[in-house]
């Protein structure tokens, strides 16, 4: 139905896709999986006309096509259901369903009675019964997704792309969604399903394509691919690969009796985390493992007070931290290097110097006046120590390379003399040399007695950098690897483990 | 089997009901929606009852007639503003356009009714169009574009009137003057015109595809674009419409006063915005309705009337009251909106 | 090949636009000064310069506060009404002496600023909307306090309005001093740095633990206080309190000065030097047109065009 061949797409500095072949067949649910940066979203964007490919061909219904806009792709019958529902929340269900193609009576006025009837019928067909006159926002996310699906189906979509559709659904909503997906399959619609929840993939998908680093590393029938093998493919590691290559820096030799500097107890955030507990001792690097969407970043944010928790508490050196307050967490000595460096980390318009001094400013000021001399000294120290490469302290951070931006952020937090560093993907999107430097820094910092919580999609980095690894899956701690058990093999097995029962994972 | 989704929408009967969404949340939500939509109407009724009990002069034919006619012009301006605000924008130029429209109409009235009506419509519509193009195509902030237009339109108005020294009069015997002065079934013609325009506006907003686009653009611009709504064209249309409404209101006002008065219209944009917001239209866009704006205008005028009736109070109190009103409504809207985002 | 050249052309155009946005205002001031020197009779006189400077002072002071608000990715539409409120308060409290009256006026501005800041920082209302409400209510309150024009007969006030030091009017000195203070605050204080960070990237500022709410409130308090000071000075110069017309359209002039001066509406940058030049530019533009017998209507239309051009040049590229 929809296929691409030899697809290559390059962004400045990054080759997002290279020579990708992918085929979605009618009446088949095709899983598209891969870790962050594997090229999934780029592929989807090429399919839906957001990006144009540099090389390669998109074939739709037997003939080559080139969509200029998402709208064109939609008119041709390719609909996308995004993670965040792309509808108008304040408008009613029926209006959303029919926007732009409302049934009209004489005088060109909209025939609401007919519209409501048809909207009701369309949703009923998907097994959803809901008052179509109600504003969309009053309904649950699940129903909203159904409406988006119904819209896709009613515009005669022949290919439906779903990007992480279940990420904020209740278990029973997921079941309804799956029923609808099966219905679509029976109607001969090609479904491309993007998700990180392995259990779901095996339940609903027929075929699977695994992407890594912009290439297809596997494609075939879903049922024929073993769980463990799938995880290995995604992470790019071989099962049973020798663990000797890992030079685990601190082979758990730290004083295991030492009082943890950070303790998180039973952190719960609706839809995201379910009773996550972990602890970090001074001088220890604790890895947080798991696939994308397993709750790693959310755990870090909850600890740093940037994500309000429903229950649970965080203690630093035994003292509870006021929940839900970033300043309180920072005062307690918790520093977070956020995953989205560009949007949440750096302040792009300010200089390297201002960025480094930003969080520590109150401490570097007297009567509200900035002590420029002290800032200069601190900035100088850290620029040297972290080997930040910039034209000078007054260069804008937005102009630096990713690695140097990351170092600036590290410097910002080190200037605060934190007790715990939470590093969320510290080496993502930075070049190899800088990566090694950042990794070395992490080691040094831990040696200095800092507690480090490390999140990384790079398994090698995670395994080699961490003394212990806490494995998350769907917002739950499923295993904790310590000592000799800190191996990629064990990590992958922990991730791949099927749930004990078929019960709801969050209860 | 087909009901589980519906249930989820209503009360989230998940195994572990989270505390922020207790059963019945949607009922209280619907109540708050109701308050947002009809709070102004209830307040209006209460205010009118209170006013008629307090002042014998309030519920007299003359007073009501007077209020109705003076509301008419603001109402027409608020009509256009409603469309703009529903798309999530704002139009600060309407006060100047109102004045400009009045002056142009009075000047044009010597060449006949057609010129007196078409000239202000053409000029004000054009300025609205320019606003819309700058906002929709060049993606400039609506408030600054329309603020500039406010200044430009005022300059144009001064240029037409020899720097404000010239007042053009409307001949009382023309048909144009009847549009302002005339009466039909004992009610002033401007009132009839306003009612007709509101009915037309409501039909356009509720029952045409364009109206749906207006809501969609204000509710979620990106989604609207993805669903194929002509976002830029819709925005250009609403600003043009707002310009047209302001120009027409100015023209009618000139006909009513039988002269183009240059000092009118300043502060009218604020009155219009207040009226629209008090009437239940969200300033963040995506939600609102025409009849609410009419209620908002009437409420402002009743307050003004009451303040005038209390001889000792200055008319300036009206601004304080409507400013405070605006603040309260906006705070309420923000809080309601925030609670909804959580859901 | 063609794509390459095309790319270079757009890059050049972007650079040109950026230069224009940053330094165009100074160039504009120089050009107008030169043009007026050549074409306008009696332009190069101390008397004329003094008049110009006195006229620009209140606008500049309001623009300083506006620059802070815009730097925090906001805007303050209530400044004109604050000026009106301040002139009313002066008339009311003049009986207690000019200092008490001026103090009352500034306190009034601070109160309005607090209200703005609370609506924006705690309730989460958009700045345009919050300050719009205060704009309506503020002018109304000013008129309630003082229903019509009233002469201000006070030697202290008169001295403030027309006195000078070595030929430089007090008004100009005060405006210059305030500009220096605000520039210092923006550059050298914790608050200034935090303000810029918040305006540039609010999520990053929040995650870095900055006191976002406190900074926002201070911004609007400053803006209110500066507008009130401008109101005091304008009252002193006019020797009258006119709450009906004082400060009308002031928000527009102030925003124009700030934007023309190269401070982007998207926040994260505050250019005080540019703001000063922006205010001067608008003043010169007005004078030029008036001195050449072009009516005020033209001035307004010209100002409208300048605003749109400035905003157009400053609009964020790449942002949809």
Do A246 and A230 have their domain in common?
Answer: no
Residues of A in Cβ contact (< 8 Å) with C205: 347, 358
Can you count the helices (H) and strands (E) in chain C?
Answer: 13, 4
Question: Which tokens hold the place of B169?
Answer: 């009069």
* Three-state secondary-structure class, residue A22: strand
Which residue is closest to A346 within chain C, CA to CA? Answer: C204
Query: Do A91 and A111 belong to one domain?
Result: yes
Q: What is the extent of the structural domain holding A391?
A: 341-417
Q: Going residue by residue through chain B, which has 343 residues, state the pLDDT in tens, using 9 for 90 and above.
A: 333 333 333 333 333 333 333 334 455 666 666 666 677 788 888 888 887 787 777 777 777 887 888 888 999 999 999 999 999 888 989 988 998 998 888 888 888 788 888 889 999 999 999 999 988 888 888 888 888 888 888 888 888 887 767 777 777 777 777 777 777 777 778 888 888 999 999 888 888 888 889 998 888 888 888 777 888 899 999 999 999 999 999 988 888 887 777 676 677 888 888 888 888 888 778 888 888 889 888 888 888 777 777 766 666 777 787 788 778 877 877 776 655 443 3
Residue B192 burial (CB < 10 Å; 0-12/13-18/19+)? middle
For A441-474, what is each residue's pLDDT tens digit?
888 888 888 888 988 877 778 888 888 888 888 8
Of B340, B317, B330, give the one whose Cα is nearest residue C115. B330
Nearest to C124 among B156, B273, B334 (CB): B334
From B332's Cα to the closest Cα of chain A, the distance in A is 17
Domain count, chain C: 1
Render pLDDT for C106-140 as a digit per residue (tens, 0 to 9): 999 999 999 999 999 988 888 888 898 888 888 88
What's the pLDDT at B78?
93
Question: Cα-flanking dihedrals φ and ψ of residue A335, to 5°?
Answer: -125, 135
Q: Is B336 on the interface with C (CB under 8 A)?
A: no
Q: How many domains does chain A fold into?
A: 3
Measured CA to CA, the distance from residue C59 to residue C260 in angstroms comes to 14
- CATH number, domain of A8, equals 3.40.50.300
**C273 part of contact set with chain B, CB < 8 Å:** no
Give the chain C residue nearest A301 (alpha carbons): C207
pLDDT at residue B22, rounded to an integer: 35
Task: Provide Rg for chain A, Cα atoms.
Answer: 25
| A424 and A392 part of one domain | no
Q: Are residues A410 and A426 in the same domain?
A: no
Q: pLDDT tens per residue, chain C (320 residues)? A: 444 444 455 566 667 777 776 777 888 888 888 887 787 777 777 788 888 888 899 999 999 999 999 999 899 999 999 999 999 999 888 888 888 889 999 999 999 999 999 999 988 888 888 898 888 888 888 888 887 788 878 787 888 878 888 878 888 899 999 999 999 999 888 899 899 999 988 888 888 888 899 999 999 999 999 999 999 999 988 888 888 888 888 888 898 889 888 888 888 888 898 899 989 988 888 888 877 777 777 878 888 888 888 778 776 543 33
Written as six digits, the tokens of C263 are 């401070």
- Whether A270 sits inside 8 A of B20 (CB atoms) is yes
Cβ–Cβ gap B319/C130 under 8 Å:
no
C-alpha distances (whole Å) from A170 to each of A140, A165, A273, A474, A507 are 9, 11, 13, 12, 11
The strand pairing partners of A296, in sequence order, are none
Measured distance CA(B34)–CA(A131) in Å, rounded: 18
Is the residue at C236 inside a domain? yes
Please give the torsion angle defined by the CA atoms of residues C45, C49, C50 and C55, in that order, rounded to the nearest 10 degrees: 140
Determine whether C133 is exposed, middle or buried from the number of CB atoms within 10 Å of its CB (0-12, 13-18, 19+).
buried
C137·B270 Cβ contact <8 A: no
Q: Identify the pLDDT of residue B313.
A: 60
User: What is the 8-class DSSP label of residue A431?
Assistant: -
Contact A370, C186 (CB under 8 A): no
Residue C2, in any domain of the structure: no
Backbone angles phi, psi at A23, to 5 degrees: -135, 125
Point out the residue among B155, B158, B322 whose CB comes nearest to the CB of C136: B322
pLDDT tens readout for residues C128-178: 888 988 888 888 888 888 877 888 787 878 888 788 888 788 888 999 999
Question: Is the residue at C188 inside a domain?
Answer: yes
Q: Compute the distance between CA of residue B197 and CA of residue B191 in angstroms, rounded to an integer.
A: 10
Contact between chains at A130 and B6 (C-beta distance less than 8 A): yes
With an 8 Å Cβ cutoff, the interface of chain A facing chain B consists of 70-71, 74-75, 86-91, 95, 99-100, 102, 104, 108-110, 112, 124, 127-130, 135, 137-140, 142-143, 146, 151, 170-173, 175-176, 270, 310, 504, 506-507
Rounded to whole angstroms, the Cα distance separating A235 from A457 reads 8
ipTM for the predicted complex: 0.77
* Residues of chain A below pLDDT 70: 12-14, 36-37, 83-85, 168, 237-257, 431-433, 498-507
Q: Which residues on chain A are in Cβ contact (under 8 Å) with C190?
A: 361-362, 365, 368-370
* 8 Å CB contact of C144 and B314: yes
End-to-end CA distance of chain C: 28
Considering only CB atoms, A146 lies closest to which of B5, B213, B282, namely B5
Whether residues C204 and A329 touch (CB distance < 8 A) is answered with no
pLDDT tens, residue by residue, A393-434: 888 888 887 778 888 888 888 888 888 889 888 887 776 667
A497 shares a domain with A473: yes
Domain end call among A391, A417, A443? A417
Which pLDDT does position C224 carry in this prediction?
Answer: 95
The parent domain of residue C150 ranges over: 55-314
The residues near A4 (Cβ < 8 Å, ≥ 6 apart) are A20, A21, A22, A23, A43, A46, A47, A53, A56, A57, A58, A59
How far away is chain A from the Cα of B153, in angstroms, using its nearest Cα? Answer: 35
Q: Is residue B63 part of a domain?
A: yes
Does some domain include residue C213? Answer: yes
Q: Which residues contact A185 (CB under 8 A, 6 or more apart)?
A: A27, A28, A29, A191, A206
> From the list B5, B19, B228, which residue is nearest A130 (CB)?
B5
How much is the pLDDT for B242? 94
Residues A329, A430, single domain; the answer is yes
Q: Are residues A391 and A480 in the same domain?
A: no
Residue C167 sits at the chain A interface (C-beta within 8 Å): no
Q: Return the bridge partners of A370, or none.
A: A365
The answer to whether residues A37 and A183 belong to one domain is yes
Residues A44 and A185 in one domain: yes
Are residues A282 and A170 part of one domain?
no
Q: What is the CATH number of the domain that holds C197?
A: 1.10.3470
Q: Burial-class residue C301 by CB neighbours within 10 Å (0-12, 13-18, 19+).
A: buried
Which residue in the set B1, B12, B224 is minimally distant from A140, CB to CB?
A: B12
Which residue does chain C place closest to A344, by CA atoms? C204
A9: which strand partners? A17
> Is residue C25 in a domain?
no
Q: What is the four-CA torsion angle of A54, A55, A61, A67, rounded to 10 degrees? A: 10
Given CB atoms, is B316 within the 8 Å cutoff of chain C? yes
Chains touching chain B at 3 or more Cβ pairs under 8 angstroms? A, C
Q: Is residue C95 part of a domain?
A: yes
pLDDT of residue A238: 62
Residue B152 is encoded by which pair of tokens?
């430009």
Residues A392 and A502 placed together within one structural domain of the fold: no
Task: Look at residue B43 and tell me if it is in a domain.
Answer: no
To which H or E segment does residue A314 belong? strand A311-316
Q: Which of B134, B156, A9, B176 is nearest to C301 (CA)?
A: B156
Query: In this structure, how many other beta carbons lie within 10 angstroms of the beta carbon of residue A237?
Result: 17
User: Is residue A198 located within the same domain as residue A133?
Assistant: yes
Q: Which residues contact C316 (CB under 8 A, 6 or more apart)?
A: C264, C266
Task: Look at residues A384, A417, A450 and tell me which one is the last residue of a structural domain.
Answer: A417
Residue B166 CA: distances (Å) to CA of B117, B169, B264, C172, C205: 20, 10, 14, 37, 55
d(CA A469, CA A16): 30
Domain total of chain B: 1
DSSP conformation letters of B139-156: ---HHHHHHHHHHHHHHH
The whole domain housing B187 covers 58-265
- B155/C126 Cβ within 8 A: no
Count CA within 13 A, CB hemisphere, residue B206.
Answer: 11
Q: How far apart are CA B177 and CA A399, in angstroms?
A: 65
Phi, psi for residue A241 in degrees, rounded to 5: -60, 145
Enumerate the residues of chain B whose CB falls inside 8 A of the CB of residue A99: 212-213, 216, 224, 227-229
B310 touches chain C (CB under 8 A): no
Partners of A259 in the beta sheet? none
Strands A159-163 and C168-169: unpaired
What is the C-alpha radius of gyration for chain B, rounded to an integer number of angstroms? 22
* B26/A138 touch (CB, cutoff 8 Å), yes or no: yes
Size of interface B-C (CB pairs under 8 A): 142
Instruction: Identify whether C126 is part of a domain.
Output: yes
C300 in a domain, yes or no? yes
């Amino acid at each position: 139905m929809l296929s691409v061949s030899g697809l290559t797409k390059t962004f400045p500095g990054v080759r997002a896709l290279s020579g990708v072949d992918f085929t979605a067949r009618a009446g088949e649910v095709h899983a598209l999986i891969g870790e962050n940066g594997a090229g999934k979203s780029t592929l989807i964007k090429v399919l839906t006309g957001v990006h144009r490919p540099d090389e390669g061909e998109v074939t739709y219904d037997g003939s080559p096509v080139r969509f200029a806009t998402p709208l064109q792709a939609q008119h041709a019958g390719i609909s996308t259901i995004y993670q965040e529902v792309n509808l108008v929340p304040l408008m009613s269900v029926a209006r959303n369903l029919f926007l732009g193609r409302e049934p009209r009576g004489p005088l060109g006025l909209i025939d609401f009675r007919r519209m409501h009837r048809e909207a009701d019928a369309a949703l009923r067909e998907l097994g959803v019964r809901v008052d179509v006159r109600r504003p969309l926002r009053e309904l649950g996310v699940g129903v909203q997704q159904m409406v988006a699906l119904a819209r896709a189906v009613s515009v005669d979509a022949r290919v439906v792309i779903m990007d992480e559709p279940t990420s904020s659904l209740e278990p029973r909503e997921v079941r309804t969604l799956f029923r609808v997906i099966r219905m679509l399959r029976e109607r001969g619609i090609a479904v491309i399903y993007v998700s990180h929840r392995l259990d779901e993939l095996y339940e609903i998908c027929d075929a699977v394509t695994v992407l890594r680093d912009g290439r297809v590393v596997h494609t075939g029938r879903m049922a024929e691919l073993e769980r463990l093998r799938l995880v290995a493919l995604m992470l790019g590691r071989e099962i049973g690969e020798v663990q000797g290559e890992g030079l685990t820096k601190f082979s758990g030799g730290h004083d295991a009796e030492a009082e943890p500097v950070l303790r998180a107890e039973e952190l719960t955030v609706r839809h995201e985390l379910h009773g996550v507990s972990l602890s970090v001792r001074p001088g220890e690097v604790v890895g947080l493992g798991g696939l994308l969407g397993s709750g790693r970043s959310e755990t870090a944010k909850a600890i740093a007070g940037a994500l309000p928790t429903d229950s649970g508490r965080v203690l630093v050196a035994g003292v509870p931290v006021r929940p839900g307050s970033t300043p309180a967490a920072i005062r307690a000595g918790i520093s977070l290097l956020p995953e989205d460096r560009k949007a949440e980390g750096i302040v792009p318009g300010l200089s390297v110097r201002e960025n480094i001094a930003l969080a520590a400013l109150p401490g570097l000021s007297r009567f509200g006046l900035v002590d420029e001399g002290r800032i200069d000294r601190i900035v100088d120290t850290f620029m040297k120590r972290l080997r930040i490469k910039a034209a000078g302290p007054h260069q804008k951070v937005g102009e630096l390379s990713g690695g140097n931006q990351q170092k600036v952020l590290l410097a910002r937090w080190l200037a605060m003399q934190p007790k715990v560093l939470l590093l969320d993907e510290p080496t993502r999107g930075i070049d190899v040399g800088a990566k090694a430097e950042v990794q070395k820094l992490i080691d040094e910092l831990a040696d200095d007695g800092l507690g480090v919580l490390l999140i990384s999609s790079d398994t090698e980095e995670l395994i080699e950098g961490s003394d212990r690894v806490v494995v998350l899956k769907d917002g739950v701690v499923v295993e904790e690897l310590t000592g000799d058990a800190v191996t990629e093999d064990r990590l992958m097995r922990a991730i791949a483990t099927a749930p004990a029962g078929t019960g709801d994972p969050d209860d | 089997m087909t009901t589980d989704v519906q249930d989820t929408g209503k009360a989230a009967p998940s195994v572990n009901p989270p505390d922020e969404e207790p059963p019945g949340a949607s009922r209280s939500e619907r109540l708050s929606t109701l308050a947002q939509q009809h709070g102004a109407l209830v307040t209006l009724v209460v205010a009118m009852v209170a006013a008629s009990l307090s002042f014998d002069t309030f519920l007299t034919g003359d007073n009501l007639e007077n209020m109705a006619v003076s509301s008419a012009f603001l109402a027409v301006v608020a009509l256009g503003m409603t469309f703009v605000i529903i798309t999530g924008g704002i139009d600060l130029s309407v006060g100047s356009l109102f004045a400009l429209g009045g002056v142009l109409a009075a000047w044009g009235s010597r060449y006949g009714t057609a010129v007196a009506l078409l000239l202000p419509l053409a000029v004000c519509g054009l300025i609205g169009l320019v606003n819309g193009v700058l906002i929709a195509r060049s993606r400039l902030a609506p408030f600054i574009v329309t603020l500039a237009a406010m200044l430009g339109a005022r300059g144009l108005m001064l240029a037409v009137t020899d720097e404000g020294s010239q007042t053009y009069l409307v001949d009382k015997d023309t048909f144009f003057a009847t549009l302002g002065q005339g009466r039909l079934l004992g009610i002033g013609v401007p009132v009839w015109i306003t009612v007709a325009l509101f009915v037309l506006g409501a039909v356009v907003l509720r029952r045409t595809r364009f109206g749906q686009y207006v809501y969609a653009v204000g509710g979620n611009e990106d989604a609207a674009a993805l669903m194929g709504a002509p976002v830029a064209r819709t925005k250009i249309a609403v600003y043009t419409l707002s310009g047209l409404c302001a120009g027409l209101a100015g023209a009618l006002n000139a006909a009513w006063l039988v002269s183009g008065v240059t000092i009118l219209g300043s502060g009218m944009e604020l009155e219009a915005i207040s009226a629209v917001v008090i009437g239940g239209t969200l300033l963040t866009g995506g939600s609102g309705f025409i009849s609410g704006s009419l209620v908002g205008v009437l409420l402002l005028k009743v307050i003004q009337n009451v303040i005038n009736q209390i001889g000792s109070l200055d008319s300036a109190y009206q601004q304080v009251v409507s400013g405070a009103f605006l603040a309260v409504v906006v705070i309420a809207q923000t809080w309601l909106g925030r609670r909804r985002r959580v859901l | 090949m063609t794509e390459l050249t095309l790319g270079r052309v757009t890059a050049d155009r972007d650079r040109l636009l950026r230069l224009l946005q940053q330094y165009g205002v100074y160039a504009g001031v120089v050009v107008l000064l030169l043009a007026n020197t050549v074409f306008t009779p009696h332009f190069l006189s101390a008397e004329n310069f003094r008049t110009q400077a006195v006229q620009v002072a209140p606008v500049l002071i309001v623009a300083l506060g506006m620059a802070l608000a815009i730097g925090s990715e906001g805007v303050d539409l209530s400044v004109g009404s604050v000026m009106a409120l301040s002139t009313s308060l002066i008339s009311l409290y003049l009986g207690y002496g000019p200092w008490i009256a001026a103090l009352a006026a500034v306190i009034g501005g601070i109160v309005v600023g607090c209200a703005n800041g609370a609506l924006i920082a705690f309730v989460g209302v958009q700045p345009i909307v919050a300050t719009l409400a205060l704009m309506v209510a503020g002018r109304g309150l000013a008129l309630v306090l003082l229903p019509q024009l009233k002469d201000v007969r006070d030697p202290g006030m008169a001295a403030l309005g027309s006195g000078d030091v070595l030929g430089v009017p007090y008004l100009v000195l005060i405006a210059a001093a305030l500009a220096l203070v605000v520039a210092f605050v923006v550059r050298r204080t914790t608050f200034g740095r935090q303000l810029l960070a918040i305006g540039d990237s609010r999520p990053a500022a929040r995650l870095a633990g900055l006191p976002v709410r406190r900074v926002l409130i201070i911004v609007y308090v400053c803006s209110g206080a500066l507008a009130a000071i401008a109101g005091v000075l304008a009252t002193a110069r006019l020797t009258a309190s006119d709450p009906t017309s004082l400060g009308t359209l002031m928000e527009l002039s102030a925003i124009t000065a700030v934007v023309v001066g190269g401070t982007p509406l998207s926040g994260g940058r505050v250019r005080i030097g540019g703001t000063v030049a922006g205010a001067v530019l608008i003043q010169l533009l007005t004078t030029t047109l008036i001195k050449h017998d072009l009516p005020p209507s033209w001035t307004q239309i010209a100002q409208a065009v300048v605003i749109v051009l400035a905003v157009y040049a400053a609009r964020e590229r790449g942002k949809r």
